[in-house]
Amino acid sequence: MKYTILVLISIFTFNLYGQNTVVETEEGFSNMIDSYLSYSVPLISVGDLTEIKSDVILLDAREENEYIVSHIPGAVHVGYDKPKEKVMDDLDKSKTVVVYCSIGYRSEKIGERLQQKGFRNVLNLYGSIFEWVNQGNTVVSMSNEETKEIHTYDKKWGKWMTNKNYKKVY
């Protein structure tokens, strides 16, 4: 009887901590994002983007070495440190523009720039490419072929890309 109770307590504790770990990771990711964003650019969720993706201009605000490893299909690279102003200037200002990076900070800054250029409907992808992949969506390589590699900037940021089906590249 004591052994049975001990086993049941162990199973309950394992399940409890296993579930809490997932919740803490999701909450930790959200808390980390909240600490970086100023919410100056309206957000769009991954789920909402998947529904309207064919009707938007999708911009990748990561650096070229990150974009080359993989990006969301159809995304145009604009960068962050030295953004491609000509690419932004040539976009149709009447279209909805969704910007993403790794977690949302750089894309928010590029989104602000687009707003200053007169774009009226600019959205920042909440959780950016990490959340895109964490929810099981596809990314492609430069040859437009599906890939299972994600540039996670470095190990510190890479911990937020939790989909085990993908290889982290630094």
Dmax (CA) for the chain in angstroms is 74
Could you read off the pLDDT of 101-150 as tens digits, one per residue? 999 999 999 999 999 999 999 999 999 999 999 999 999 999 999 999 99
Amino acid symbol at 101: C
37-169 maps to which CATH number?
Answer: 3.40.250.10
Q: Which contacts (CB < 8 Å, 24+ apart) does range 130-133 have?
A: 130/29, 130/102, 130/103, 130/160, 130/161, 131/29, 131/46, 132/46, 132/49, 132/72, 132/100, 133/161, 133/163, 133/166
Report pTM: 0.85
Confidence of residue 87 (pLDDT cuts 50, 70, 90): very high
Domain spans, the chain? 1-36, 37-169
Confidence of residue 27 (pLDDT cuts 50, 70, 90): confident
How far apart, in whole angstroms, are the C-alpha atoms of residue 145 and residue 139?
Answer: 8
How far apart, in whole angstroms, are the C-alpha atoms of residue 161 and residue 131?
Answer: 7
Indicate left, alpha or beta for 157 from its phi (over 0: left) and psi (-120 to 50: alpha). alpha
Of 107, 89, 106, the residue nearest 98 (C-alpha) = 107
How far apart, in whole angstroms, are the C-alpha atoms of residue 37 and residue 39?
Answer: 5
